[in-house]
Structure formats: structure tokens, C-alpha cells
Structure 1
Amino acid sequence: MGRRAAVPHPGVRHDAPPAPVVHVVGHHVPLRSDTTFHFVDADPATVLEQAREAAGGKDVRLGGGATVVREFLDADLVDTLHVAVAPVEIGAGSRLWDSPDELDDRFHHDVVPSPSGVTHHVFWHR
């Protein structure tokens, strides 16, 4: 997979363990009682290093909101990225980007529309 994390892309891997080890950046509430959570207050590179060690050579996936994903993107620690954009505005919040084209200098970029109106942006590192 490389030295970077991968933001999940649906259907790519079906061999994920049923009870993953999760490294959480910040202070979030665990949603699964059968999952081992490690709350980490560190820079993205340190979090990725810890997660890669815990994964034992398997892929590391990054999930989170725009702020967390942006931190890993800015640190150049993402290999692949899948973002589903729904055509709704739900109020205030952090934006991942003003335009997905902002990432085109570092990533190949495919745009896949769906009948539901959701647009899938799939990026992979150049």
C-alpha cells in the first residue's frame, strides 16, 4: 500500500477483521463495544505510524470528518481517497475543499456520478 493511509473505498477490501483496532484522533465516542479504540493526541504521521504497527502490515484506513482527512492530506499521508458528495447542504461545518480539483496536482482523480445524485470522487496518489 505504500507509506500513506487509505481513505476507505467501498468494496475494495472484504477481509477486514470483525473487531478492528481503531486509532482515534481527538476525543470521539466509540460506536462499537467489540472494537479496541486507542485515543491518540498526536500529529498525523505519528498516528499513522502507530496504526501501521497495529495493523501488522495490512492496510490502514482513515475515516473521519473534513478536519482529520485534511490534516492527513496536508501531511501527504494518503495513498487513496474516496469521497461521496451528496447534493444537500446541512449547515455549518468544515469543508474538505472548495473544489476537488485542488487535489489534482498530487492525485489522479475520477468522478463517478450515481442515479441517486451522489457524486463519488476517487483519488489515487500520482
Structure 2
Amino acid sequence: MTTLRDMPMITIEQKNRFREAALKVEAERDELVAWKDYAMRELTALQQVTHQLAHNGTMCWDYSRDARAVMDREPVASLSRRDARMKAEALEDMANAYEDHHEILDHLRDAAEAYRKQAEGEA
């Protein structure tokens, strides 16, 4: 994997901006994880109530099953796809800034394409 250290044509200021952007993405991811945890706790409580109501015959079982189906979904794919999309966009922006450096440009576009495929669920 190529790191910022491996790209000597990038200035310290640019490397710092990339690091700041990465930290911002990580903070946003952490906020999403916290929100998901909160939502899952609330959905679990809702599912338990709807299950009990359905068991007592006062509510249709479909509501409880629907809540369980949402809880069983795997959220990791959507977060990793979002992260891949954001990385691809950042790499494409960087490639646009280095139009006269063909070696770096090719590397950035290849990396952006790989992230695009990951974001679309192909990788």
C-alpha cells in the first residue's frame, strides 16, 4: 500500500491536509458508530415490545419480524462503502491537482478506481 511518505512530490502542507481530512473522516465514522449503537438499543426495545404485543395477540407478528430484520442487517458494508467513496473522491481531487505528474496521476486514478469498485460493492 502506498502511503503519503511514498509520494515525495507532495508537500508537507499537502500531507498535513490529507491527514486532517483522514482524521475528520475517522471522527465522522466514530459518530456514525455511536449513532448506530444508540439506534440498535432503541430498536431492540421496540422489537421486544412488539414481540410481546404480538404474543398477547394485540399486534400483528409482522411488526416484530420487521424490527428483527432491521436489527439483523450488517452495517459494516455501508460504512466501508461510504469510506471507500470518500477516499475515491479525495484521490480524484488529488489527481486533478497533479495533472502534470503522470506517474503520480496514474497511481492516484488506479487507487480511486479501486475504491470506487469497493464503494459499489464489487471488491
Q: Which has the larger radius of gyration?
A: 2
Structure having the higher strand fraction is 1
- TM normalised by structure 2 equals 0.23
- From the two aligned structures, give the one with the greater helix fraction: 2
Q: What is the TM-score when the length of structure 1 is the normalising length?
A: 0.23
